[in-house]
Amino acid sequence: MKRGVERWFALVAIRIASLIMPGSLRVKWRREWAGEIWARSDEGRPVIWHALGAYRHSVWVSGDALVSLLRRSRGDVRYAIRTLRRRPLFTLTVVATLALGIGATTAVFSVVDKVLLAPLPYPGGERLVQVTATYTPRDIKQGGRTTTLEALEAYTVADRNLIGSGTPAVVQEGSVTSGFLSDLLDVSPLLGRTFTTRENEPGLGSVAILAESLWRERFGASVDVIGRTIRIDDQPREIIGVLPEVAILPLVDVWTPADLSLDWARTRTRFGSLTTLARARAGVDLEAVRQDLATVSEGAGSEFGSTVEPWRAEVFDYRSLLVGDVEANLWILMGAVVAVLLIACVNIANLLLARGVERTPELVLRSSLGASIGDLARQVFLEGAVLAGVGGLVGMGLAWVGLDVLMAWVPAEIPLGSTTGMDSRVLLFGFSVTVFTGVLFSVLPALRTGKLSIGRIRAQNASIGRHEKMRGAVLLGLEVAQATALLVAAILMVTTLLHKKDADSGFNPDGIIFVHLNMPTYDYGRGGFTDSALRDRFVEELKPRIVALPGVESVGVGTATPFTGMTFMTALQQEGGPRVGSSNGGLGVASEGDLIWFAQLWVDAQYLATLGLPIVSGRPFRDSDRGGSPVVLINETAAAAFWPGESALGWRVRSGADGSWTTIVGVVRDFEHPGIPTAGQAEIYSPLDATPQLVTLLVRFDGEADVIRQQIQRAIWAIDPDLPIPAVRTAREVLAASLGMTEFYTLLLGLFAGLAILLTSVGIYGVMAYSVARRTREMGIRIALGADQTRLTAVVLREAMGVVGTGLIIGLLMARVGSRIMESLLFEVEPTDPFTYGIVALVVSVTSVAAVWFPARRATKANLLDVLRAD
Amino acid sequence: MTARTRRMSPPTTAVLRAIVEGSSYGFDIMDATGLPSGTVYPILSRTEKRGFVVSRWEDTAVEREPGRPPRRYYTVTPAGSDALSVAVAHFRTLGEPIPSRS
């Protein structure tokens, strides 16, 4: 019994092992092994281990069979190459179509892969989490010793003034804890070293590491840079290294060690700019980390005693945070490019099928000479495989070149976009796509050949079978449907972009320049609104100089512009209690208890007039408001949300129960712009009584922007030659930059849709030209019998347009369903916009008629002589 | 003497020797040579392709347990025999042990 069971298991194992073998060898092989197993078992000896030997043998046999097949195919491949070289136009069309499809797909995949799929380029990159807590990493580490995190570091970024190496400049400083670059990210410096733990101690970290870009731009990539001293704000720092770009913080120009005193951390944390990154241990999920940190925070609370508030840590998957809503949009692009690839495949399959019919006489000849149906099918398949191989190679070359172009278009808002490049994963993808497409368009023609019997091949006459006609029509219809859907998506995006560009922003963006100044504390006194005498004096001196410049009409001063960097939020108490109902909870409008939230700006009396943002009701600020009775302005959104159904004028707000009341004296027009996320929030404007460290000058001018820009810079440096001036940009430039993402998606979708339409037209033309050529006999007879040429053209057109029309309708339905996914990308255009659908229907129809027209005309020129020649 | 016969490996030599000495079935050859099935069977397949051995199925007239498949037995061809002699001579010349049971 026991022996029987063992034998049964061994026999089952052999049966499984035989599955990988070619069918022609399988039965014999299985029988031999079963015979031996059975005989050995009868002798009462163990057999189960022999099953392992059977596996090894089956792999060997399969490999051997494959090698033999490849050897046999070598001749076929050579024959396929010769055949294809004899038809250069056909070969070129197929290879170019395929190369475009594979190239575009591979290039887009390389972006999708780096941004969404590949692990972040750091050790355990897939386990990086962001921890938001009210304490520094040191507190978390010391307070409770986490069990789920293996590295925990933090960074913060801020704009600083770089002085002493050429013109003063504003640079982005990344302050990091000691292990951030070495332990967490494991970045190797190009030159020098990274920070030591000691350099993170308060007062000991007067060192800096340059980012590669800054090193090249300002220091000419000199290797002697190590040991030199630069001044970042007022602090001299010794350069100890140069670092390649850090993918997750690509804009950082200079790295400094973070001084981890509790004061530092609490100060930074209050402004919400300290980001703590951690690497979870392998096999630990987000929930476990959350629970672990909750335990740590309980312990930490008691350790710090009553001096600090209890804290709560929140944990997020870092990549999800980093990627945000880019994910869905990138998948839309990937979907679009795959659709183009499929259109390319369908095109090629159609061409190969058509060619298959055309080659019937050759196949007959080969079969007469002894080739089996299997040989012929293999030959047809190999031709497809050769085309796929060449197309794939050229396509990957195109992707390689195209990626550089694509990289120039990838907007900075796409996180990790700068890491995109060709690597083994992308190459593997390109190879897989090549194999997939090769199989896709080679199998149909090969099957068609395989299904033909020798008799049928020989009996086949020159006309197209009904079945074949149907198959061609289905493929063509599919192609038209996909191109239609893509075109709808592209036109919706183009409309979106145009609407965004033309959107009424509420103010006149022509002829405005923004000048952001960062007056350093070491030269101009402490930040905030205190100790502002030096800054006030600077601005008072600068304003008349700028106003005096030729072409300048007015100058306004404020803490920011409504759409750049207005991140200061303030909670105010509303006189007479909160009026916010649930119906008022629109975008950017929030209330909590008896507090209402505003985005806060401080502006001078000329600010709104210079910006051209009109006062809707009430009055603007006057110079007399400065230091006078406290007044504020609010925007339309705030007025509608917090004082629904009544005028907000005369009502008062205050910050907290002990703050003084300020009166609302005017309502300002909403600033709106689709590219700017802060648009549409409740805003409050207070008079600018004192100049803060960060201040924005608005300059309205009439003239050449570049000339004014240079004159403004000269005016600033005439007062303070050490004050760096970040980019002085016009409002138009700021608004245009905000549409970078939309432009990127529109450009690519437009490109893919154009490619799809082009390929589809080529496909329609190819199929129709072939179909008409096959019908020479029919056409000749019809004309000989007196048929009218125009009528014949109409017959051909009608047949083709039936297929195109069906494809068009299916495509429009596909677009109708698919456009919902795009809804978040669209602006002031419905996904079902009838105008778009109408335009697409028109474009597809006209293109298709043009593609059908020429072959149709040729058909009607047939005469009986042609028929006789064809036979 | 061809380059191919000169390159016959010790396990192949051992397998051919085992067949010549009377072990006809795959598992018997394994017993005779001490080589595992994963080595013996690929050698049998390869040498059969090279024409050194031929195989036949066990006679159906032989009385077998119901359900038991026939066994396949191998014999060495004259070409195989020649190749084996060359290989044995080669090992002798080199003063190496003639592969039989490992």
Q: Which range, of A53-62, A91-100, A373-382, A582-591, averages the lowest pLDDT?
A: A582-591
* Extended beta strands in A260-384, E state: 275-280, 314-317
Residue A300 pLDDT more than 60?
A: no
C-alpha A810: how far from chain center: 28
With bands split at pLDDT 50, 70 and 90, how would you rate the model's confidence at A461? very low
Q: Which residue pairs, CB below 8 angstroms and at least 24 apart, start in A586-594?
A: A586/A637, A586/A641, A586/A680, A587/A680, A587/A681, A588/A637, A588/A678, A588/A680, A588/A681, A588/A682, A589/A637, A589/A638, A589/A641, A589/A642, A589/A681, A589/A682, A590/A682, A591/A642
The answer to whether A843 and A757 are in contact (CB under 8 A) is yes
Q: Do B36 and A53 touch (CB under 8 A)?
A: yes
Amino acid code (one letter) for A37: I
pLDDT for A5 equals 87
- Residue-wise pLDDT for A603-615, tens only, equals 888 888 898 888 9
Can you tell me the mean pLDDT for A687-696? 82
Cα gap A163→A348, rounded to integer Å: 62
With bands split at pLDDT 50, 70 and 90, how would you rate the model's confidence at A865? low
Q: Do A50 and B42 touch (CB under 8 A)?
A: no
Can you tell me the mean pLDDT for A421-439? 86
* Residues with Cβ within 8 Å of residue A690, at least 6 apart in sequence: A529, A530, A532, A535, A536
Which member of B42, B65, B72 has the closest CB to residue A57? B42
Q: Which range, of A240-244, A426-430, A720-724, B5-9, averages the lowest pLDDT?
A: B5-9
Spell out a b/e string for A131-145, using b for 16 or more CB atoms within 10 Å of the CB, else e. bbbbbbbbbbeebbe
Q: Which residues of A touch B72 (CB under 8 A)?
A: 31-32, 35-36
Better-scored residue on pLDDT, A679 or B47:
B47
H or E element at residue B39: helix B37-49
- Residue-wise pLDDT for A541-586, tens only, equals 999 999 999 989 999 998 877 666 555 777 888 877 665 543 344 4
pLDDT for A84 equals 85
Query: Residue A512: what are its φ and ψ, rounded to 5°?
Result: -125, 135
With bands split at pLDDT 50, 70 and 90, how would you rate the model's confidence at B75? very high
Can you tell me the mean pLDDT for A271-289? 78
- Residue-wise pLDDT for A814-863, tens only, equals 998 888 888 877 888 888 899 999 999 999 999 888 888 888 877 777 66
Q: Do A56 and B38 touch (CB under 8 A)?
A: yes
Q: Which range, of A27-36, A652-661, B69-78, averages the lowest pLDDT?
A: A652-661
With bands split at pLDDT 50, 70 and 90, how would you rate the model's confidence at A4? confident
| Residue A32 distance to chain B (closest CA, Å) | 6
Residue A811 pLDDT more than 90?
A: yes
Cα gap A743→A736, rounded to integer Å: 10
Cα gap A510→A532, rounded to integer Å: 32
- HSE (side-chain half, CA atoms, 13 Å) at A96: 11
Sort A551 into a burial class: Cβ within 10 Å, 0-12 / 13-18 / 19+: middle
pLDDT for B37 equals 81
- What's this model's pTM, rounded to 2 decimal places? 0.70
- In terms of DSSP H, where are the helices of A739-833? 740-774, 776-784, 789-818
With bands split at pLDDT 50, 70 and 90, how would you rate the model's confidence at A869? low
pLDDT for A162 equals 86
| Rounded (10°) CA dihedral A153, A158, A162, A168 | 160
pLDDT for A838 equals 93
Mutation target to probe the B interface, by most B beta carbons within 10 A, among A57, A66, A68 is A57
Write out the two tokens for A518: 């960062």
Q: Do A50 and B58 touch (CB under 8 A)?
A: no
Parallel, antiparallel or unpaired: strands A207-211 and A235-243: parallel
Count of all residues that appear for chain A in the document: 871
* Extended beta strands in chain B, E state: 53-57, 72-76
Amino acid code (one letter) for A429: F
- HSE (side-chain half, CA atoms, 13 Å) at A405: 12
DSSP tag of A670: P
With bands split at pLDDT 50, 70 and 90, how would you rate the model's confidence at A397? very high
Can you tell me the mean pLDDT for B24-43? 88
* Residues with Cβ within 8 Å of residue A477, at least 6 apart in sequence: A803, A804, A806, A807, A810
- HSE (side-chain half, CA atoms, 13 Å) at A624: 2
pLDDT for A812 equals 93
With bands split at pLDDT 50, 70 and 90, how would you rate the model's confidence at A587? very low
Q: Which residues of A touch B46 (CB under 8 A)?
A: 64
Cα gap A27→A86, rounded to integer Å: 43
- Residue-wise pLDDT for A630-672, tens only, equals 899 998 888 888 888 888 888 888 877 667 888 999 999 887 6
pLDDT for A267 equals 46
The answer to whether A267 and A136 are in contact (CB under 8 A) is no
Cα gap A738→A413, rounded to integer Å: 10
Q: Do A64 and B45 touch (CB under 8 A)?
A: yes
The answer to whether A427 and A403 are in contact (CB under 8 A) is no
Can you tell me the mean pLDDT for A120-137? 76
Q: Which residues of B touch A42 (CB under 8 A)?
A: 65, 68
With bands split at pLDDT 50, 70 and 90, how would you rate the model's confidence at A271? very low
Write out the two tokens for A847: 């293109």
* Extended beta strands in A670-796, E state: 683-687, 694-701, 729-730
Q: Which residues of A touch B65 (CB under 8 A)?
A: 38, 42
Write out the two tokens for A217: 């731009």
Q: Considering only CA atoms, which of A292, A271, A269, A268 is closest in space to residue A280?
A: A292
pLDDT for A870 equals 54
Q: Which residues of A touch B70 (CB under 8 A)?
A: 31, 35
pLDDT for A304 equals 45
Better-scored residue on pLDDT, A261 or A364:
A364
Q: Which range, of A284-288, A538-542, B1-5, averages the lowest pLDDT?
A: B1-5
pLDDT for A242 equals 94
SS3 A553: strand
The answer to whether A128 and A279 are in contact (CB under 8 A) is yes
Better-scored residue on pLDDT, A356 or B37:
B37
% of residues, chain A, pLDDT over 70: 85
With bands split at pLDDT 50, 70 and 90, how would you rate the model's confidence at A807? very high
- Residue-wise pLDDT for A192-223, tens only, equals 998 887 887 777 778 999 999 899 988 888 88
Better-scored residue on pLDDT, A71 or B64:
A71
- Residue-wise pLDDT for A472-528, tens only, equals 788 888 889 988 998 998 999 899 888 887 777 777 778 889 888 887 766 676 555
Cα gap A316→A318, rounded to integer Å: 6
Mutation target to probe the B interface, by most B beta carbons within 10 A, among A7, A21, A30, A32 is A32
Q: Do A53 and B37 touch (CB under 8 A)?
A: yes
A53 lies within 8 A of chain B by CB? yes
Q: Which residue has the tokens 């194999």?
A: A435
DSSP tag of A317: E
Q: Which residues of A touch B31 (CB under 8 A)?
A: none
Q: Considering only CA atoms, which of A455, A682, A664, A684 is closest in space to residue A575?
A: A664
Which member of B37, B40, B70 has the closest CB to residue A35? B70
Write out the two tokens for A783: 């004309």
Query: Residue A238: what are its φ and ψ, rounded to 5°?
Result: -85, 130
Cα gap A273→A265, rounded to integer Å: 10
| Residue B93 distance to chain A (closest CA, Å) | 32
- Residue-wise pLDDT for A156-178, tens only, equals 888 888 876 677 888 888 888 87
SS3 A621: coil
- HSE (side-chain half, CA atoms, 13 Å) at A370: 0
pLDDT for A529 equals 58
Can you tell me the mean pLDDT for A708-729? 85
Can you tell me the mean pLDDT for A579-601? 60
pLDDT for A839 equals 92
A7 lies within 8 A of chain B by CB? no
| Residue A50 distance to chain B (closest CA, Å) | 7
| Residue B68 distance to chain A (closest CA, Å) | 6
Can you tell me the mean pLDDT for A452-458? 55
DSSP A568-611: -EEEEEETTS----GGG--TT--EETTEEEEEEEEE-TTHHHHH
Mutation target to probe the B interface, by most B beta carbons within 10 A, among A38, A55, A71 is A38
Q: What is the mean pLDDT of chain A?
A: 80
Better-scored residue on pLDDT, A270 or A560:
A560
Can you tell me the mean pLDDT for A321-334? 84
| Rounded (10°) CA dihedral A735, A741, A745, A751 | 70
Among all residues of chain A, which has the CA nearest to that of B70? A35
The answer to whether B38 and A53 are in contact (CB under 8 A) is yes
Can you tell me the mean pLDDT for A67-72? 78
Q: Do A38 and B58 touch (CB under 8 A)?
A: no
SS3 A312: coil
Amino acid code (one letter) for B50: R
Q: Considering only CA atoms, which of A411, A415, A320 is closest in space to residue A115?
A: A415
- Between positions 19 and 38 of A, the ones with CB within 8 A of B are 31-32, 34-36, 38
Better-scored residue on pLDDT, A302 or A393:
A393
- Residue-wise pLDDT for A331-360, tens only, equals 888 989 998 988 888 888 888 777 777 777
Residue A859 backbone zone (phi > 0: left; psi -120 to 50: alpha; other: beta)? alpha
DSSP A266-298: HHHHHTT--EEEEEEPTT--HHHHHHHHHHHHH
Q: Which residues of B touch A56 (CB under 8 A)?
A: 37-38, 41-42
